[in-house]
């Protein structure tokens, strides 16, 4: 499969639509599942991993679903292609470059559904929705789980539920997360306090690219920690309640910004656009920070000639692997920063002339 054809698409999580999409970027539900008669990945030999891959691959590609899942052999991908799929949130960094041996990822045309094979668990199912749509994501992944179960016997225990390689995932095997854009709360430094209170109720906050990554571009993922003893619907309800509260705080902080320092914000947004459109070297970090400011500017109507989906496109296209694919050549760090700046200059000039 030539992954380049995905380049023009935004993927489900960056479509920029859906409920509360001024703050909620995307909702995601993941399920960990394991075959009943196979050792977990860390204890499986190459032969067993191959068998797991074959069985899951067959089940995934023949599953009775309203969409087709195309299987990609991760072991055969170039490092740039692997990174590309990580940036598109279709697979984890672990599957891309930490793990080795037979492994794969299957996903659908719209990139809303993906199944990783031979990650820490034999299967990691994922459903994405843009905006706040946890229920829809759950309904979809529940159906996917059933469809795969028709051909695969999953390890299930009467007391412990779905069995996983790590006891932190046992039970439902479910990790539900919501990605939020919280620039106003970050600006007013209220965010630290908020996150400390979340930890007390067993929710985890992470940066954009999952475990261990720090928040960049004011993007935060909030997810559940507990998988044993609470039903899926109860966990989703708990997350929904917290998210509703955070949305309220962020909206209030945004209104306060407008009321108390509108001129200063206007200036900050204009400078962000200015830098993005004129820099000759720019890192991915700085790009994400500036795009965060531009995104906030759009939401606050301080800037109205740029649609939010354009920000999403600039966001994904300036990630390392996307950039290298767009340029058609591998680039080292310095070269990337120059190529990124050039891409942003050209795109913003195009958009400017197109709009006027």
Partner 1 sequence: MKCQRCPKPATFHITEVFGHAKYRDFHLCEECAQRHLANPDASLKAAQTATPPLPDADLTDEFGGKHCPACGLKFVEFRNSGRLGCPRDYDVFKDELLPLLDNIHGDTKHAGKQPRLQPLRQANAAERERLRGELESAIRKEAYEEAARLRDRLRQLDDPAPGA
Phi-psi region of 233 (alpha: psi -120 to 50; beta: other; left: phi over 0): alpha
In 3D space, the residue among 293, 291, 276, 271 whose CA is nearest the CA of residue 342 turns out to be 276
Query: Pattern of binders to partner 1 over 7-36, x per CB under 8 A?
Result: ---------------------------x-x
**In the set 2, 8, 66, 159, which binds partner 1 (CB under 8 A)?**
159
CB 309 within 8 A of CB 15: yes
120 binds partner 1 (CB under 8 A): yes
Distance between CA 151 and CA 13 in Å, rounded? Answer: 29
290 binds partner 1 (CB under 8 A): no
Residue 219, SS3? strand
CB of 158 to partner 1, least distance (A): 4
146 binds partner 1 (CB under 8 A): yes
If the CB atoms of residues 159 and 280 are measured against partner 1, the closer one turns out to be 159
Distance between CA 161 and CA 172 in Å, rounded? Answer: 6
118 binds partner 1 (CB under 8 A): no
DSSP symbol at 37: T
Helix (H) or strand (E) holding 322: helix 320-327
**In the set 5, 43, 76, 200, which binds partner 1 (CB under 8 A)?**
43
52 binds partner 1 (CB under 8 A): no
101 binds partner 1 (CB under 8 A): no
User: Which of the ranges 15-23, 72-80, 163-171, 341-349 carries the binding residues for partner 1, by CB under 8 A?
Assistant: 163-171
In 3D space, the residue among 229, 238, 177 whose CA is nearest the CA of residue 30 turns out to be 177
DSSP string, 126-163: EEEEESS-HHHHHHHHHHHHHHHHTT--B-EETTTEE-
The dihedral formed by the CA atoms of 348, 351, 355 and 356, expressed in degrees to the nearest 10: 50
Binding positions for partner 1, 230-249, rule CB under 8 A: 230-232, 234
CB 260 within 8 A of CB 327: no
286 binds partner 1 (CB under 8 A): no
142 binds partner 1 (CB under 8 A): yes
If the CB atoms of residues 169 and 319 are measured against partner 1, the closer one turns out to be 169
Tokens of 263: 């001129």
The size of the interface with partner 1 (CB under 8 A), counted in residues, is 42
211 binds partner 1 (CB under 8 A): no
Distance between CA 72 and CA 257 in Å, rounded? Answer: 46
DSSP string, 164-183: -SSTTSTBT-EEEEEEEE-H
CB of 51 to partner 1, least distance (A): 14
User: Which of the ranges 81-89, 221-229, 292-300, 338-346 carries the binding residues for partner 1, by CB under 8 A?
Assistant: 221-229
352 binds partner 1 (CB under 8 A): no
If the CB atoms of residues 141 and 300 are measured against partner 1, the closer one turns out to be 141
Helix (H) or strand (E) holding 46: helix 46-62
137 binds partner 1 (CB under 8 A): no
CB of 161 to partner 1, least distance (A): 3
Contacts with partner 1 by CB under 8 A lie at 34, 36-40, 42-43, 120, 142, 145-146, 149-150, 153-163, 165-168, 170-172, 174, 202, 226-232, 234
């Amino acid at each position: 499969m030539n992954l380049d054809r995905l380049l023009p698409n935004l993927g489900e999580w960056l479509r920029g639509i859906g409920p509360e999409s001024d703050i909620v970027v995307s909702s995601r539900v993941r399920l960990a599942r394991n075959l009943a008669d196979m050792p977990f990945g860390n204890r499986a030999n190459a032969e067993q991993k191959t068998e797991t891959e074959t069985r899951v691959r067959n089940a995934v590609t023949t599953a009775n679903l309203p969409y087709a899942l195309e299987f990609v052999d991760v072991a055969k991908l170039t490092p740039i292609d692997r990174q590309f799929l990580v940036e598109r949130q279709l697979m984890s960094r672990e599957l891309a470059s930490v793990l080795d041996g037979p492994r794969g990822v299957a996903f659908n045309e719209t990139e809303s559904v993906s199944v990783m094979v031979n990650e820490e668990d034999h299967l990691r199912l994922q459903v994405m929705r843009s905006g706040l749509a946890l229920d829809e994501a759950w309904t979809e992944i529940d159906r996917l789980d059933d469809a795969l179960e028709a051909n695969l016997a999953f390890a299930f225990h009467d007391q412990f539920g779905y069995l996983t390689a790590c006891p932190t995932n046992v039970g439902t095997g479910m990790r539900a997360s919501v990605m939020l854009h919280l620039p106003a709360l970050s600006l007013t430094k209220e965010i630290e306090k908020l996150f400390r209170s979340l930890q007390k109720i067993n929710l985890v906050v992470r940066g954009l690219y999952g475990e261990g990554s720090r928040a960049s571009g004011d993007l935060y993922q909030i997810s559940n920690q507990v998988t044993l003893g609470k039903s899926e619907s109860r966990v989703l309800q708990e997350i929904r309640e917290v998210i509703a509260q955070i949305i309220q705080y962020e909206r209030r902080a945004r209104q306060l910004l407008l009321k108390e320092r509108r001129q200063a914000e206007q200036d900050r947004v204009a400078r962000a656009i200015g830098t993005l459109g004129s820099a000759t070297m720019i890192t991915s970090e700085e790009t994400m920070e500036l795009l965060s400011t531009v995104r906030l500017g759009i939401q606050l109507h301080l800037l109205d000639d740029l649609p939010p989906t354009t920000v999403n496109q600039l966001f994904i296209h300036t990630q390392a692997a996307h950039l290298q694919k767009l340029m058609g050549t591998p680039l080292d760090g310095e070269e990337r920063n120059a190529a990124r700046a050039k891409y942003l200059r050209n795109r913003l000039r195009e958009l400017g002339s197109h709009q006027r």
